[in-house]
Amino acid sequence: MKEELETANRPDNTAFTQQRLPAWQPMLSAGIVIPGFVLIGLAFIGIGVALFIASQNITVLEKDYTGVEITSDCYKCSNPSDKNCTCKLDFSLSNLFEGPVFFYYGLSNYFQSQRSYGVSKDDYQLSGDLDYFKTPISACSPYQYDANQNPIVPCGSLANSMFNDTFKLYQIVNGTKKLVPFDGKGIAWWTDYNIKYRNPSVTPLKNAFNGTVKPPFWSKPAYELDTSDPSNNGFVNQDFLVWMRRAALPDFRKLYRRITEGDYASGLPAGNYSLEIGYNYPVLSFGGRKKVVFSNVSWMGGKNQFLGIAYLVVGSLCVVMSTVMLIVYAKFKFPEDD
Amino acid sequence: SRKVDSRTIYVGHRPCPTTEALIPPKFCDNRIVSSKYTVWNFLPKNLFEQFRRIANFYFLIIFLVQVIVDTPTSPVTSGLPLFFVITVTAIKQGYEDWLRHKADNEVNKYLVTVLEDGRRARKESEKIKVGDVVEVVEDETFPCDLILLQSSREDETCFVTTASLDGESNHKTHYTVPDTEKNLESLSATIECEQPQPDLYKFVTVFSRCVVFFRSLGPENLLLKGATLKNTQKIYGVAVYSGMETKMALNYQGKSQKRSAVEKSINAFLLVYLCILVSKALVCTTLKYVWQSRPGQDEPWYNQKTQKEKDTNLYLKMFTDFLSFMVLFNFIIPVSMYVTVEMQKFLGSFFISWDKDFFDPEIQEGALVNTSDLNEELGQVEYVFTDKTGTLTQNNMEFIECCIDGFQYKYADSGTELDGFCVTDGPVSMLQQKAGREKEELFLRALCLCHTVQVKEATGQGDGVGDGMIHPADLRGFIASSPDEVALVKGAMKYGFKFLGMESKNMRVMNRNNDVETYELLHVLNFDPVRRRMSVIVRTKSGDTMLFCKGADSSIFPRVRQEEVDRIRMHVERNATEGYRTLCVAYKLLSSEEYDQADTGLREAKLALQDREEKLMAVYNQVETGMSLIGATAVEDRLQEEAAETMEALQGAGMKVWVLTGDKMETAKSTCYACRLFQRSTELLELTVRTLHSWAKSKPVSAFSVPPRSWSSANQDYGFIIDGATLSLVLNSSPDSNSSCYKSLFLQICQNCTTVLCCRMAPLQKAQIVKMVKNSKGSPITLSIGDGANDVSMILEAHVGIGIKGREGRQAVRNSDYAIPKLKHLKKLLLGHGHLYYVRIAHLVQYFFYKNLCFILPQFLYQFFCGYSQQPLYDAAYLTMYNICFTSMPILANSLLEQHICMEVLMDNAALYRDVAKNAMLRWGPFLYWTLLGVYQGLLFFFGVRFLFSNPALQDNGQVFGNWSYGTIVFTVLVFTVTLKLAMDTRHWTWINHFVIWGSLAFYMFFSFFWGGIICNQKRVKQIKIYILSLRFVT
């Protein structure tokens, strides 16, 4: 009876209840910390050097074609009332621009990151839900319905403001223009192309868009975005997908094409080039700029010195710190158990 | 006719035939309600109470703003955590209330026997009505306040213990109404008693039979609800107060909510963060409108406004923008911190009750945690107020020696040395013939007669409860209201005078010659703490009427002849300094006139309905004069186990120990020496009535005008002694300009002393002292520890109240915040558990603020890059789950298991306690460190990614990253950094720490991988990992 009582009231004698769980108590002694810092520092310096060199080897060619200066060929097109204006941008390469070359367009002072802009789309519509073709969500306003109350598909500011300048690159070989072939496949994110955006399963695609109108800024309806490739239409058009993935910062670039085919698979050879621009996209009204960028990439992406430098700085700091600690340690010889 | 201030009760609901027609009086039923809610009002009442908390209300407002205004984040992000918090709290409180309901029901549905029209009927306790005659059998508790009508004992008494009421576990004698009929069925009587009042010891009533027959009743006739019947087979009583009007219910005071200093710090930090939040929102709102005023920015062609937006009033827009920013940044003040803190406290408190070091094999119990809110306060204690009797000492009395007429007698086998003039040892049955045989025997008779001890029948086994310790010599125990009395009676027994017990008003004493002497007990002049003495009036066989009185020296000396005092005072004082409790014994032969006068006086006073106490007191004082002093006794009260070590450790930890006792100065002082609270080198400063008198003689101005001593050197330890009378002069002096000056002067002196001893304290004064220290400059954290009912007031008053599960009942334990079986456990509770809890919760709080600051700062910075459009940087799922899933478990585990220094080291080095004293880890310094760390890391996260995104093509396929990727990278780095920061702060890695830290990182990666296809590219994951590592080492 008494023993029973004892076991009933006595607290459990387990390691957990007695706060005596076996525990590792790291002791940060000089013998661990200093070599540790050195090792980490060296590793970081190594990574930093690799990143830096990789970044150094990347060639980038950037050209502004907004046409602000009178000398620019695109000056004539900068007047927004001028429709279907084409201008050209000439440049020459003194060395081989190593391939594969990526062709980007860039916009600055353009706030794709604004919230009201970003939410102005209908995800259900863009995933191919036909109900939302009839009645787009109100977030798309003021691009929900047109003046005649026809639903706009794809609705919203984001889709409406899709970038619509066109580019054609020619190499001037002996005075003749040789078209550099562009590859427009796989420039969009895999998830966007395969999961998030879907066309309605209606054939032909055009029928799905019956009773809807194209966004007012667009010149062609969504099902006719790419006349050359019927599978590259509707919401899974690569250019459309690239545009719909909003940029994080107001100065951004987006991938337009790759140069991977024919004579240019290994890069752009030295020579003169002419870029023919179908100038449609107005940016001067909000103080924006447009540019094109040619770049190749390394294993770590496009040219970016920052990451390499950051690694180098941190790595060197670690090494410096370990030296300082070593000096202090040697001078005072803290006892180990302190 | 009934008066307003009294109630009339008809015993058994039978009106007197003579009186006017019975108007059945309305009294409340006997239901006890301690629960707060019913099923119906639980939801609204509980919600109302919860939203009275400022934090909850704040989150409710944020939630409502999110619902009403068009805000960047969905209401779910703040609604879900809030709902979680509210639900968890409601469940907890509902459960606690359900327990109360259950306890109430247990009491209310308890079956009792009621006499109804001659039949015995079983009834639920709640159905008892005032006037019912109730039967109670042994070991049952009384279902309501009863007046004792009949007892199974022959002497018309019964015994009860009131342990659950006032903590006194000893047996008390209660008497039936004198001269009532034996046949309760035919008894018709009325009882006129006062309206219910909470004082347990006051009860004034007149009992009248319908025939003209009055008896006055006092507290000795009243059986209180909650008390237990002991040693009596059964009793009958009539219910006078029921349900919520019983004295127990009236005495039940809800414990006021104690709040810990950490909670106050949290609130202060919260205010800072609220300011940060508001200023962030203001900055963003202002900049938004400045930015928009530049041409082309307000409404670029690609982002046209809707008609509605264009129509909205500018100021309204500004206001809603401001609210939107508030909502966007409100995660800086996390709801989850409150949940985590609550959980940490609740779960953490289990470690105290689980600790087997607190288990006491004697009482078969461990520590008890009544509140988990104060765990960390245990690590912050600056002042310890301790009771003496039962806390520092064992309250286990032993008769050590006596002094008869100036000669000292000591029991043989106590081998201490004695000074010259004292009579040394004497054989057990033979005292040395020094004081004269007559004096000796008179003294021993006085010890045998002057008490209220009952002899416990040798019923064999069964209840060996109370202080009825069974003497090995003859199997009899004594039941007494105080352990001193038993010690004295037993002491007399050693010297040959045996108290045999009462036999119908006759006290029987066996003297040395084994003759039985009988004395008629005429009156007992009860002990009370004001008089500090008690007396009996007895008549000897030969017809002499004698008064024997025993009491504290201070209360006896003025009432006896001076020359006798001089002979005995020295002994008394010497005994007191040795740590013994001393009592003086005096007697007086009463002439028949004197006795008659006293007798009538006492009877009249006892019958009085008003001011009975005062009248009795006056008669007592009148009778107890002109006595002659026979001798003094010394009773030892042993120190608790490891009392001295514990006190030393507490002082070593920088705590100031104050002893607050009702005992006299000398005894208390010696206990202090024994506990090493006073050292040999301690200079004692005394401020007592005696020193006041002596000062007043030399300097009649004021005691306080005595030139203050200069504190001679920093190393000198001072001890300060003050008594209750002087203290009341200091605290309650006339409200002139000086009084507050005295008080602060007193406080100043006390604060400069290592130990303060306050003796002769009333319970309320103990609380007053605690309150005074508590409210003094710097508001130090106070702790009170005690075991008796008289310590309850100070236990309730102090920041932390500790109850000792001692012999003086459960009152202190019930009102305490923590209860421990022994004083020695205090050391581990404070130095071990308290220290760890404080460090844990302080780290928890700081870390929580830090991790939310560096969580929200990038979101704030991102506003500069999105046109101040309240674009959230992080995905909504991340916003919601950051505090709930990704970073909550590691810190919770850390705050439960962390031992930056292990328990043994903490206990061995008391000085370590000083490291965390005065809220060291939650002061503005550490707070600034954590805040700056948060800001630094937040800046680094954001701008690191910003520079990375100066070329958003981060893959070898040339694709560019968008805004959600930006947020996800920042978030990933953030989660890894704050988790690894915690890992770096963890000094005690158990498998649980490993599991939750690496587990929550793995969970985060796993979740992100599948979340909306945001991360679906293996190469990107690799990239992020490299990036994380780089940032990790910058921080």
**B6-17+128-251 CATH, one of 1.10.3720.10, 2.70.150.10, 1.20.140.10, 3.30.70.3000:** 2.70.150.10
Q: How far is A174 from chain B (nearest CA, A)?
A: 32
Establish if B944 touches chain A: CB-CB under 8 angstroms: yes
d(CA B133, CA B147): 9
Is there a domain that residue A201 lies in?
Answer: yes
Between A13, A301, A311, which is nearest B356 by CB? A13
CA distance B92 to B89: 5
Query: CB-based contact (8 Å) between B315 and chain A?
Result: no
Question: Which of B321, B387, B484, B553 is labelled catalytic?
Answer: B387
CA dist., res. A26 & res. A21, Å (int): 15
Are B1030 and A44 a contacting pair, CB within 8 Å? yes
Q: How many domains does chain A fold into?
A: 1
Compute the nearest-CA separation of B173 from chain A (Å): 31
DSSP state of B193: E
Cβ burial of B135 (10 Å; 0-12, 13-18, 19+) is middle
Task: Answer yes or no: is A315 within a domain.
Answer: no
User: Looking at chain B from residue 836 to 865, which residues have their Cβ under 8 Å from any Cβ of chain A?
Assistant: 862, 865
Instruction: Give me the pLDDT at residue B846, please.
Output: 93
Strand B383-386 versus strand B656-660 pairing type:
parallel
- Residue whose entry in the numeric block shows the structure tokens 């000292």: B408
pLDDT at A6 over 90: no
Whether A34 is in a domain gets the answer no
Taking chain B (1035 residues) in runs of 10, the rounded mean pLDDT of each run is 63 68 70 81 88 81 85 77 82 82 83 82 85 85 86 79 59 74 73 74 70 71 82 85 78 63 85 92 94 84 84 89 90 82 88 90 85 86 88 80 80 41 39 66 86 66 39 55 79 83 81 85 78 85 88 84 82 76 86 88 76 81 86 84 89 90 75 82 80 64 45 69 83 63 82 85 80 88 85 86 77 83 92 93 93 94 92 86 88 93 91 90 93 95 92 85 90 94 93 95 88 48 52 47
Cα gap A105→A290, rounded to integer Å: 7
A37–chain B nearest CA distance, Å: 10
B461 at the A interface (CB within 8 A)? no
Angle at A255 between CA A254 and CA A257, to 5 degrees: 150
Q: B347 in contact with A at a CB cutoff of 8 Å? A: no
Nearest-angstrom CA–CA distance, B871 and B73 = 9
Q: What is the pLDDT of residue B1003?
A: 93
Binding residues of B for ATP: 387-389, 485, 527, 550, 581, 661-663, 760, 766, 790-791
Residue A272 to residues A177, A335, B108, B770, B891, Cα–Cα distance (Å): 10, 71, 102, 93, 62
Q: How many CA atoms lie within 13 A of A117 on its CB side?
A: 30
**Which residues on B lie below 8 Å from A104 (Cβ)?**
953, 960
Q: What is the pLDDT of residue B700?
A: 43
**Which of B130, B101, B103 lies closest to B226 in space, CA to CA?**
B103
**pLDDT for the residue B175:** 79
Question: What pLDDT does residue B424 have?
Answer: 40
Instruction: Say if A327 falls within a structural domain.
Output: no
pTM (2 decimals)?
Answer: 0.79
Superfamily of domain B397-412+437-456+476-637: Calcium-transporting ATPase, cytoplasmic domain N (3.40.1110.10)
Nearest-CA residue of chain B relative to A317?
B1034
Kindly report the backbone phi and psi dihedral angles of residue A317, in degrees, each rounded to the nearest multiple of 5, phi listed first: -60, -45
Judged by average pLDDT, the poorest of A24-28, A49-53, A208-212, B1011-1015 is B1011-1015
Which residues 363-382 of B are in CB contact (within 8 Å) with A? 364-366
Q: Residue B260 has what pLDDT? A: 78
Whole-angstrom Cα distance, residue B840 to residue B378?
A: 12
Indicate the domain borders of chain B: 6-17+128-251, 31-112, 335-351+836-1032, 368-392+640-698+716-820, 397-412+437-456+476-637
Round to whole Å and give the CA distance between B786 and B797.
12
Full DSSP string of A117-183: HHT-S-HHHHTT-THHHHS--GGGTTSSB-TTSPBBSS-SHHHHT----EEEEEEEETTEEEEPPPB
Is B512 in contact with B503 (CB distance < 8 Å)? no
Quote the CA–CA distance of B669 and B363 in Å, as a whole number.
30
DSSP designation for B559: G
Yes or no, beta carbons of B869 and A114 under 8 Å apart: yes
The pLDDT value given to residue B566 = 82
Cα nearest neighbour of A109 on chain B: B297
Among the partner residues B872, B953, B965, nearest to A302 by beta-carbon distance: B953
Q: Which domain holds residue A167?
A: 61-306
Q: Provide the chain B residues 970-1009 that lie in CB contact (below 8 A) with chain A.
A: 987-993
Question: Closest Cα of chain B to A71: distance in Å?
Answer: 25
Residue B809's pLDDT is 61
pLDDT of residue B1018: 39
Predicted local confidence at residue A167, as pLDDT: 94
Residues of chain A contacting B308 with CB distance shorter than 8 Å: 141
pLDDT digits (tens, 9 = 90+) for A99-141: 789 999 999 999 999 988 988 998 888 888 888 899 999 888 8
In angstroms, the separation between the Cα of residue B393 and the nearest Cα of chain A is 25
Which residue among B866, B950, B958 sits closest to A111, beta carbon to beta carbon? Answer: B866
pLDDT surpasses 60 at A3: no
Q: Please enumerate in sequence order all residues whose Cβ is within 8 A of that of B924, keeping only pairs 6 or more positions apart, or say none.
A: none
Residue B320 touches partner A, C-beta closer than 8 Å: no
B387 is catalytic: yes
Q: What is the pLDDT of residue B216?
A: 74
Question: What would the mean pLDDT of A220-227 be, rounded to a whole number?
Answer: 90
Does A324 reside within a domain?
no
With beta carbons under 8 A apart, name residues in chain B contacting A40. 1033
Spatial separation of the C-alpha atoms in residues B769 and B794, rounded to whole Å: 8
CATH class of B368-392+640-698+716-820: alpha beta
Q: How far apart are CA B561 and CA B405, in angstroms?
A: 12
ipTM value for the complex: 0.94
Chain A positions in Cβ-Cβ contact with residue B991 (cut-off 8 Å): 21-22
* Residue B23: predicted pLDDT: 62
What's residue B472's pLDDT? Answer: 40
Cα A249 to Cα B894: distance, rounded to the nearest angstrom: 38
Q: Name which of A72, A107, A145 is nearest B300 in CA terms.
A: A107
Is position A37 within any domain?
no
- Domain assignment present for residue A1? The answer is no
Q: Which helix (H) or strand (E) holds A53?
A: helix A30-56
